[in-house]
Amino acid sequence: MQAIRRILVIVQPELPEALALKRAKLIAGVTQSQLHLLICAESKQDHSALLAELGEQLKAEGYSVSTQQYWKENPHQTVIAVQQAEGCALVIKEHQRDSLLKKAFLTPEDWKLLRYCPCPVLMVKTEKPWSGRPVLAAVDVGNSDNEHRTLHSGIVSHGFDIASLTQGELYVLSAHPSPMLSAADPTFQLKETIEARYREACKQFQKDFEIADDHLYVKEGPADVLIPKTAHKLDAAVTVIGTVARTGLSGALMGNTAEVVLDSLESDVLVLKPNDIIAHLEELLSNR
């Protein structure tokens, strides 16, 4: 996160609290990043006065800022087009929960943004301050291929950076499956051996980021249940999760877990992808 030099902040005029901008200011204040404010709207809706006002306020506070109103087909494509054009390494947006009825017929725009955006996306869900509060990094160490190992390292690294930024403590969670007597690998026939295997897989990043054993939770159960439950118990400020996309832009679907927990989590949510998936999405976008 310290390497971020430009942040794309989605300004939503209908949300007067401007929670995304508040988080962006916090991060930019530490990383010295430039802020690019974007309102996703067609030209017939003129928001130039609001953008000018916000820009002047931020400049007066010492931030480097640029502003833009733009529209391309739909909100998520608009955001991604600007993110690519401006070279932003982080997108920050306030998340509003969609109704269950709407989700039954339409894929929420925020889900699409998380699926297709090549850079990390921070979804802001609460106005509670981050300062001094825990940060939860959720990893699936049951998947140990290179792609997942890279993702795990990135998730814990970003969690560590945020915890350092907010003077909070970093916790790591990995959910594991229930024992199965029919499992071909004897490790997965007993809860104790499954947990031991998962803890062994966490040792390297525990060492790299000085994560104590009592800050590492290896629990039995579905991740989409355990992640919100653990974040709630900790009163986490941010939950960092990852997604491994499939090949092809049309198939770049994040796992169900990330989509489900986006609404069920009470904390802000940072979603990451592995480097090879980011490169693949960028290549597909450049050919459109």
Q: Is the pLDDT of residue 228 over 90?
A: yes
Going along 72-204, which residue ranges are E strands?
90-94, 121-124, 135-138, 170-176
Domains of the chain: 6-94 (3.40.50.620), 135-286 (3.40.50.12370)
Tokens of 284: 């597909």
Q: Which of 103-117, 119-133, 156-170 has the weakest average pLDDT?
A: 103-117
Binning pLDDT at 50, 70 and 90, where does residue 135 land?
very high
Average pLDDT value for residue range 128-142: 93
Strand order from edge to edge, sheet including 65-70: 65-70, 34-40, 6-10, 90-94, 121-124, 268-272, 238-242, 135-138, 170-176, 216-220
Cβ atoms 90, 123 nearer than 8 A: no
pLDDT value for 247:
40
Cβ atoms 122, 114 nearer than 8 A: no
Binning pLDDT at 50, 70 and 90, where does residue 105 land?
very low
Tokens of 201: 């897989």
Other beta carbons within 10 angstroms of residue 253's beta carbon come to: 16
Sign, CA torsion 189/190/196/201: positive
Q: Is the pLDDT of residue 159 over 70?
A: yes
Q: Is the pLDDT of residue 282 over 60?
A: yes
Say what the pTM is.
Answer: 0.88
Q: What letter represents residue 255's amino acid?
A: G
Question: Strand, coil or helix: what is 40?
Answer: strand
Residue whose C-alpha is closest to residue 268's, from 72, 100, 75, 129: 129
Binning pLDDT at 50, 70 and 90, where does residue 190 land?
confident
Q: How many residues does the chain have?
A: 288
Average pLDDT value for residue range 230-236: 97
Tokens of 216: 């590492």
Average pLDDT value for residue range 32-36: 96
Cβ atoms 10, 109 nearer than 8 A: no
Q: Is the pLDDT of residue 101 over 60?
A: no
Binning pLDDT at 50, 70 and 90, where does residue 111 land?
confident
116 CB-near residues (< 8 Å, 6+ apart): 76, 80, 249, 252, 281
